[in-house]
A and B are shown apart, each in its own frame.
Chain A
């Protein structure tokens, strides 16, 4: 199971702090599948009009900061932790 942790507005949109999901595949497709489980607000918050992750959205995989162009290469496996949040706290 892949473990997902929602922070910020994603907690409000999903009504959940955490979630587990059976998944084998790349991160890009994972995010599409995850978004399809929720209201369209989830997609609107995460993706821009070209279906790219918005500049200020961050996805951490096991604590590692991954750039969106690497999402297709990143393969998720059991026990991986995905954290999704909107960056607002500065550097």
Chain B
């Protein structure tokens, strides 16, 4: 099984990779990708079978004719905007438009075109005169902020933690204000593998479900494992990233699906896709509904607050 993952520290992939050499007797070949769109190219060329990926790139891939289905959730609201202390942050008294207007005539850095962060910030910016600069690796954004190449950065909570230590930035718009319940990542798989290796997929999703629970229930222990997998000296970075948007769960509730479908008009407007995808074209919820039988946990942070 060829599994694509991102370096996002709260994805279950890092913990599964650290704890399991194989699943259901199947060895796993883990492949690190920079962004969701890069992963879609990997699916397209047959380099990967399963991936940890945000939903907009999945929709773009399906529109291109790649036989993919999202079979589990993982996290919602994983996009955050950061900038230096001179800019005003979102408060309940300030409108998002007022906050984003501070960047008129300026540049915002964001990972690759077509990734969830790119789509969200382009929707928020709308017709304002703000330049969007895309980066192949999110890791370059904090340094671009530090060098003054960009005025704000948009990416994962992990990018926000890195930017605060590298560029002394702060959160300007928190994840829940950028796009409610946005599907920051889920588990997607080639349909052929889903039907051919059903037992493996079932067991993989059970492990994924357990780790999602572990992040919420035992954040310190889980952050240590994820940190070791990324070669970090301690778990502070991971723990801080976990807490920025503590919304982890493997389920695919109606809210997750509806939020995904709300991306369709934007993806069309941006020229990223041209067909009318429906929920059944994107999701196959059969297995995860059998594994995650209770209510979704996205709004239940347990020990993360």
Contact = CB atoms under 8 A, between A and B. Distances in A.
Interface of A: 7-8, 45, 54-58, 60, 63, 65, 83, 85-91
Contacts of A88: 7, 9, 139, 158, 162, 230, 232, 237
A58 B139 contact: yes
8 contacts: A56-B7, A56-B231, A57-B231, A60-B136, A65-B136, A86-B231, A88-B7, A89-B158
Interface residues of B, number: 38
A89 B159 contact: yes
Question: Top 7 nearest A-B pairs by Cβ distance?
Answer: A90-B8, A91-B6, A90-B156, A87-B7, A89-B138, A89-B159, A90-B158
A91 B143 contact: no
B54 interface: yes
Contacts of B53: 91
Contacts of A45: 231
Contacts of A7: 139-140, 143
B30 interface: yes
B142 interface: yes
B231 A91 contact: no
Contacts of A65: 34, 38, 136-137
B36 A87 contact: no
B230 A91 contact: no
A90 B38 CA distance: 13
B159 to A, nearest CB: 4
Kindly name the residue among B35, B36, B78, B231 whose own CB sees the greatest number of chain A CB atoms within 10 A. B231
A91 B30 contact: no
A64 B43 CA distance: 19
Nearest to B35: A91
Nearest to B156: A90
A28 B111 CA distance: 27
B187 interface: no
A89 B169 CA distance: 14
B138 A54 contact: no
A8 B151 CA distance: 20
A53 B211 CA distance: 27
A89 B7 contact: yes
A91 B142 contact: no
B9 A90 contact: yes
B175 interface: no
A80 to B, nearest CB: 17
Nearest to B52: A91
A21 B204 CA distance: 46
Contact of B142 (A54, A55, A87, A89): A89
A45 B237 CA distance: 18
B230 A89 contact: no
Interface in B124-159: 136-143, 155-159
A75 B171 CA distance: 41
Interface in B78-94: 78
A87 B232 contact: no
